[in-house]
Amino acid sequence: MNMKEATIASLRIYRSILQQLTDDEYTQPLSLLGNASLGQQIRHVIEFYSCVLYTSEFICYDERPRDLRLETNLELALHSLEKIMMDFSTIDQGKAIRLTYSLNAIKHSLPTTIGRELLYCLDHAIHHAAILKIALAADFPNIEVPPTFGYAYSTINHQSNPC
């Protein structure tokens, strides 16, 4: 499986989970998430992918536009996931760009590529999937979640092929 296939597979699982939720479940504050909602977690994942897919020359995850509608509008979140999956196939993964970030209020910049940042987004989405999986099991046990959701591909490979 290559990165494109892994990303699409991951986003399809996100989509299948969202399709099982009601609007109220999507926006409900969950104590396990520090009173954040599933929608807030989903918004975060969508925004990171959007930073990479819809950039020109610079990416700054710290200063990304935050669309709060994504955390309260389940249909918009589903539409955004669909758009990311469609647009992913047309992106030039080898394109050179610059990543900007802040540490202690000091801005830094370093060279990267679209492909490298998309790999970061995949890892980031898996991290949030692990968080979502715990919250779903605790608060919405009726939602079907694949057993590998929230596991890094390296962990899945290791578990299926131990040394």
Please report the DSSP string for 130-146 in residue order. HHHHHHHHHH-TTS---
- Sorting pLDDT into bands at 50, 70 and 90, what band is 134? very high
The whole-number pLDDT of residue 4 equals 84
Token digits of residue 146: 């694949």
Report the relative pairing of strands 58-59 and 96-103 from DSSP bridges: parallel
**Which residues are CB-neighbours of 120 under 8 A, at least 6 positions away?**
48
Mean pLDDT on 138-146: 96
- Sorting pLDDT into bands at 50, 70 and 90, what band is 152? confident
- Sorting pLDDT into bands at 50, 70 and 90, what band is 102? very high
The whole-number pLDDT of residue 156 equals 59
The whole-number pLDDT of residue 129 equals 96
Mean pLDDT on 127-135: 95
The whole-number pLDDT of residue 56 equals 79
What are the phi and psi torsion angles at 141 (to 5°)?
-65, -15
Q: Which CATH topology does 3-152 take?
A: Four Helix Bundle (Hemerythrin (Met), subunit A) (1.20.120)
Question: Whole-model pTM?
Answer: 0.90
Mean of per-residue pLDDT scores for the chain: 92
Summarised one tens digit per residue, pLDDT across range 11-57 is 999 999 999 999 999 999 999 999 999 999 999 999 999 999 998 78
The whole-number pLDDT of residue 95 equals 93
- Sorting pLDDT into bands at 50, 70 and 90, what band is 62? very high
Q: Where are the domains of the chain?
A: 3-152
How many whole angstroms separate alpha carbon 67 and alpha carbon 139? Answer: 25
Residue from 110, 125, 137, 102 nearest 44 by CA: 125
1 pLDDT exceeds 90? no
